[in-house]
Amino acid sequence: MSKENNMYLGNPNVRGADVEQPWTKEELVEYKKCLDDPVYFAKEYCKIIHLDEGLVPFTLYPYQEKMFEHFEDNRFNIVLACRQSGKSIAVCAYLLWYVIFKGEQVVGILANKEVIAREMLGRITLMLESLPFYLQPGCTALNKKSISFSNNSRLIASATSSSSIRGMSLNLVYLDEFAFVDNATEFYTSTYPVISGGKTSKVIITSTANGIGNMYHKLYEGAIQKTNEFVPYRVDWWDVPGRDDKWKQTTIENTSPLQFDQEFGNSFHGTGNTLISAETLLALRAKHPIEERSNVKIYEHPKEDHNYLMFVDTSRGRGQDYSTFNIIDVSENPFVQVCTFRDNNISPLLFPDLLYKYATHYNMCYVVVESNDAGQVVVNGLYYDLEYENVFVESMVRANAIGVTMTKKVKRMGCSNIRDIMEQKKLTINDEETIREMSTFVAKGASYQADYNNHDDLMMNLVLFGWFTSTMFFREATDVKLKHMLYKEKVKQLQDEVIPVGNMPTDAGNHPFGEGWQIWRG
């Protein structure tokens, strides 16, 4: 039979379906080699477009060969790779091998925009066209969005929307440049059942670093800490042939050290305008709660004779903002986050009962509630209806003065203090969600708030804690002189740097810890 009769819709480089393929002994040997080794398949038979040389054989870098082995050995793969390393084209070759030699495999190629996913499918099509007919399964459909084969394998290109693969049965999902997907959290949450449904289904996520707090950063850090099922693989700039110290210096000169660190150095930097510095955020490590029930996460059970503080933020319970609390052990240095709650459906009428339960559990701890909006209902329910007396009261004279009104001044003081506390390592944060909110709590005008598509309710608990440390009530409630402790540390730091005594701050108004310092002197 002529090659023309074997073609798919007149494409001379793509084998049609339902065509018998005669085999030579040599071809059978080659087929077996490809079947057993995706690296051999890619190096010997796949071709790519070189910017200078046009269509050339795909010469894999050593890291790409090891990456193929990594994909074969693990179901859940997450790759952190420097910019322009060739990670995407390598994955394309692996996916082609996967659908050809595994058979009956449906692969989803997903990117931030559908046009990018289609481009990757185009690269796979080019590789397919470079294969001899005896390696190709017959093609039953080939277009810009999908490729189908007679071995019942299929490749599908789509954008990462919450509905893109819902209801589909996929054997492998590939997420390209996942750190740059706008709706990554929503997408991953909605499609995780599809991703994890089968016992042998596979996931490959690749990306360059793009800040802290996004879904990709969460998954990669979880893989490093072994808190999720993903296995990490890292590609650094020096893994790419031709990149040396001279190349690094030239690249930095044409960009910036910070840009180089993130795009080529695989560093997860913050946006640059987070309240807490990127260095501090990168040092934080979440822990698994020792107990979890109804959105309450417990990291430490109460200890006898320890002092605890509870800080509360309230929403309307309509599925938007979250009602939260943070319980902090202030008995020792550093302070420790021991319990959190986060829920966006709990009614303000029911929230006081939950607060009462855990405040009582943690040694009748002192409770500080933000009383704005629905918070007034919650703090009144706790103080008056449940008769829990250990609640912060702003004024005994003024009506509705139970709790704290979050004003611009209160928030400014709270932000300043919690930044000092965190950056001087005086508070241990154990909760993953709190760390994520810290990482996306950014400057907006003269204040700070959650970045777009993020929340800051747990973070506002900590802002409230920061403000509370500058009040007399904190000293009375805990018998802890935080400002004095921080000031002594600052003085020691300055002394260690051999700064002349005449340069030490003496005026309280210019004190490094701000106006709240005055109440701690003496």
Residue 158: closest CA among 142, 144, 140, 179: 144
Per the residue annotation, which of 20, 72, 114, 177 is the catalytic one? 177
Q: Which helix (H) or strand (E) holds 187?
A: helix 184-196
Asked if residues 46 and 179 have their Cβ atoms less than 8 Å apart, the reply is: no
Which residues face 205 on adjacent strands?
78, 175
Q: What is the DSSP letter of 155?
A: E
Residue 82: closest CA among 250, 234, 273, 213: 234
Query: What is d(CA 109, CA 289) in angstroms, rounded to the nearest whole number?
Result: 35
Q: Is the C-alpha dihedral spanning 511, 516, 518, 522 positive or negative?
A: negative
Which residues face 174 on adjacent strands?
109, 204
Q: What is the CA radius of gyration of the chain?
A: 29
The three-state DSSP-derived secondary structure of 200-240 is CCEEEEEECCCCCCCHHHHHHHHHHHCCCCCEEEEECHHHC
Angle at which helices 25-36 and 38-45 pack, to 10 degrees?
A: 120
Query: What is d(CA 200, CA 422) in angstroms, rounded to the nearest whole number?
Result: 43
The dihedral over CA atoms of 472, 475, 481, 484, expressed in degrees to the nearest 10, equals 10
**Catalytic site residue 177?**
yes
SS3 assignment, position 49: strand
Catalytic residues: 177
